[in-house]
Amino acid sequence: MEWNESLKTLLRETAKSLRGSDRRLFMARTVRELGRGGASLAERELGWNRETIRKGMRELESGLTCVDAFALRGRKRAEEHLPNLLEDIRAVVDGQSQADPKFQTDRLYTRLSATEVRRQLIHQKGYSEGELPTPDTIGAKLNLLGYSPKKVRKTRPQKN
């Protein structure tokens, strides 16, 4: 089969615009129309992955769609590795925090920095240095719990 550049561009752009199983089914239907050796030809001429084409062919033949499960990939949250981490952070920080002096927000202000909270978790709660996340992550968890690690400033008296 003769491939002209406009046909190649059309097939590439169409495949690029689709996602997931729709993309695989498009590739499989295209390769099936090419006949025997179509997967190799599509790989060579269009730059498509032959494994993706095979997966699409299986989906096309069986009628079942493979679930990609993108949400199950990647790094797990710190709470999944250490289930008691949030409660332990709350226990350490609660004694050193206070509400907004003017009661304008729900945030709690704490004197402890994220590095100090990490140090207190190691000393008070028995965590090891290696198993705890970085101070940046601890700071993110403090924000998640509603703590604002800033210096606590007392309200100034109004001037007369």
Integer angstrom CA distances of residue 97 from 12, 56, 138: 58, 56, 16
Mean of all residue pLDDT scores within the chain: 85
| pTM (2 d.p.) | 0.52
* Same domain? 141 vs 91: yes
Angle of CA points 102, 97, 125, to nearest 5°: 165
Domain boundary among 62, 91, 106: 62
What is the domain extent for residue 127? 78-149
d(CA 23, CA 16): 8
pLDDT, residue 155, reads 63
Per-residue pLDDT at 159 exceeds 90:
no
Residue 99 falls within a domain, yes or no? Answer: yes
Residue 28 falls within a domain, yes or no? Answer: yes
